[in-house]
Each structure stands twice: as C-alpha cells, then as structure tokens.
Homo-oligomer: A and B are copies of this chain.
C-alpha cells in the first residue's frame, strides 16, 4: 500500500492543464502528461513499476480544487435537464442497506425531479459512460486511452451523506477513484485467493464476512486519489456529515497475456494445420477406447503415447505463432473501443474538418487542394489508426468516426493497397514529425499525392499549414 501525504500539494486547474496539453504536438506525450497530473506527485515511472497491478495507493492532496473542472454535481444536474438520460441505460439508482444491495431504476427518462427524489431518500446515483454527456470527460478519457493502450472508461458516483450505495466486490479493471466533492470513507481488501489476483471477470457482491479485514482504510476528500488493481475488494460509504461525488476512471479490462493468447492460439493452429501435415493426420482409429475421462484411470501404454503426441504438437505450435497478427487483433478491438479524438481548433483548421473547400455563392471553392510534393503532413494523433493484414489485403482501422457512446458505431476501416500501406506505415513511424508528401515511399509523385489526399479526405491526417487552394 502506498500513501502519499503532503500538506500543500496544489495542482494546476484542469482548464489550464488541458490548454497546455493542447500545445504538446505528440499525442502520446500528451497522454503521458495527463496521466502524470492524475497520479501526481507519484511519478508515472514509479507508479507503473511499483504500484500498477500490484497494490492499492492513496494520494492525499489537501487541495479540494486539484481535479476541479473534471466533473461536478452541477454538471450532473445539467445533464439530467438537457440530455436524454435513461434509467438503467445511463443512470442507475442503487442502495446498500443492512447488507442488502438493491437497484431502484424505474423505466424511461431520468428527469431531475424524480432523480433527486431518489437521492433525497438515500439512494446512490451512478452515471454510466458520462463521457457521452460531458465534453471535458470525453477529452480527458480520449487522451488517457493513449497512455493505457487500452480503453479508458468512467462512471460517476453520487452518494448521499451517511449512506452506502454498493456492496463490497472486486472489479475486472484497474480503478482510479477521483474524489471530486465531499468525502468518502473507503476500505480496500486483499484478493481472497491466488486465483482472484488480477481476475478476468468481476466478482458478485460479497457479504461482510466473506472479505476479511481491510488492508487500507481512508477517508478521501475532494482532490484525493485512490487507486487499486483489479481483484482488490473495496467498499465506500459516506460519513454522516458529507455527501460524496467521485468518478472512477478504469482501464485494462481483458488486456492480459491470456487475452492475447485467446487471439493467438486459433491463428497459430490454423497456420500449423495448413503448413504441417502432422496436424492433419488422422487420430488413431481406436483412441476413443482409451482416451477420455471415462478411461483416465486406465493403465494403458497408448494413453502416454497419445498425450506425448499432443504435447509434442503443442510445442511445435510455438513455431507457428503469428504474434504480430494476434496483437493486431487486440489493436483492432481497442480501436473499436476508443473514444474519437476531440479535435483542437488547430487540428480542425489543418484537417478536412476545416478544409477551405466549401460552398460559396453557388460555387464550390477551393476543391482543388494543392497537395504538393513539399506539403507537410502527419497523422492527426498517434493512436487513431492501425494497419492490419487480413486475408490477402491490408485494412486501415481508425477511431475518428467512432461514437462517444460505447460501441454505438461499428468498427471503422477501409482497405488500402500494399504501396499505400507502406506510406501509412511511414506516417505512423514518423509521428509526431511532419513529413513531406515527397518523402512517402511510393514510386510516383501521383501516388504520393493520391494517398495523402485519401488520408486527408478520410480525416486521418493534418497538414503543417492550412492548405491553400489554387
């Protein structure tokens, strides 16, 4: 357990921070800086080497404004009024009283009058996927996801004073509990068994006598942070004196070596079967008569032979493992999970979203964009595209037209030719540097301009200077 306890830690206001981050030209670096702010004063390096996936940590800041601007109950109230928040889909009403966890969702739209009535009666409110309603959260999470290389999600929890909304349980994600308003009393417990360390799925609700003694007990105040890895049981309740608003930022769901192997093994087997006749040879005629659970206690020499053969084939499989292709399948899933980037003014003005091509007095102006050899271009952000080989072709996956609502859109992609794939790869590796169209590895200038125009049209690249028209 890691407790940082400093008197006068004062963070920059979020607005200022985001403005400064906007000036960082490398989106990956920007993500790093934002994460640094999140866990300050622990350094990211220290965080990831000593804490991440290992143990809980508390950061006390004695600065209620440290996370100011990220989210607030006022924003919560505004969303209820202005947006179509649906009970059950976007908002859960819950309670945990006398060891009993209940959900109280009515049907239909969650209007403030009814929601606050529940709250007044001691219910907790959990807003799901608040980034769909708050542009700031969208921005912050879309930056953070580049840090994790894994989807960054969030839920907001509003809890009345003197109540608890959820039973003790553990989750399947790394959790960053960001205290925004009021206070909350947290207890964190070790995973109960070796098998529940870094679990792939969340637990059911536990009763108090199943979870042992807490290894960490703390009252979070506004501006504080609590981190705990997946598998650590936790419960939070409000003191009689104060309500609580916090946001839990989550990541690394199903991002383990085992999850990668789920993609890898079928692909490896397919390659092995295609290439190596040993995998295609028939099983022994009689194998059902000595293999299988009903024969598992038989002393039959053929059993050992059979098992050895299988193990031999499994070892052989290692040589067929298409690791990069399996990683690409993970990457593809990640790109589908991603929030779309929230573009800055500068990004808009140098990309298709602010291209000068426009209708004006009945004419289309500036359609002939001069992508010339010397025009400088780069990807809009590092993490927004991914090249994957599929079958014979190469597919370019991207995030720019994803929805703020999780998986509301299908995965976005288009097929490109092999030479174009080289150009995209060049852009990926050059980022954050701008490179000239001329430097793209295509045989002819026309092809270089064509791939640049295509990527521009699809909204994936920006130019160094706003494009001029002829």
Query: In the complex where A111-B457, A113-B457, A362-B182 touch, is A200 in contact with B314 (Cβ < 8 A)?
Result: no
Within 8 A of B (CB), among A25-84: 28, 48, 52-53, 73-74, 76-77, 81-82, 84
A 97-123 to B, binary, CB cutoff 8 A, 1 in contact else 0: 000000000011101111011011000
The prevalent SS among residues of A at the interface is helix
Query: In the complex where A112-B355, A273-B258, A307-B323 touch, is A120 in contact with B459 (Cβ < 8 A)?
Result: no
Among A294, A311, A331, A457: residue with most chain B CB under 10 A: A294
Query: In the complex where A200-B273, A317-B314 touch, is A53 in contact with B282 (Cβ < 8 A)?
Result: yes
Which B residue's beta carbon lies closest to that of A310? B323
A182 CB → nearest B CB, Å: 6
Which B residue's beta carbon lies closest to that of A279? B258
A239 CB → nearest B CB, Å: 12
**Cβ 8 A contact of A108, one of B311, B314, B414:** B414
Which B residue's beta carbon lies closest to that of A298? B429
- How many angstroms between the C-alpha atoms of A53 and B275 in the bound complex? 17
Residue A286 at the chain B interface, CB threshold 8 Å: yes
A391 CB → nearest B CB, Å: 13
- How many angstroms between the C-alpha atoms of A428 and B296 in the bound complex? 13
Residue A19 at the chain B interface, CB threshold 8 Å: no
Among A269, A293, A412: residue with most chain B CB under 10 A: A293
Residue A161 at the chain B interface, CB threshold 8 Å: yes
Among A158, A258, A323, A428: residue with most chain B CB under 10 A: A258
A423 CB → nearest B CB, Å: 12
Chain B residues with CB under 8 A of A195: 274-275
A201 CB → nearest B CB, Å: 11
Residue A386 at the chain B interface, CB threshold 8 Å: yes
Q: List 8 A-B pairs, minimum CB-CB distance, nearest first.
A: A258-B279, A258-B273, A291-B327, A198-B280, A294-B387, A73-B359, A243-B362, A292-B327
Given contacts A119-B364, A198-B282, 8 further A-B contacts (CB under 8 A): A108-B458, A113-B457, A149-B283, A149-B288, A252-B282, A255-B282, A256-B279, A311-B321
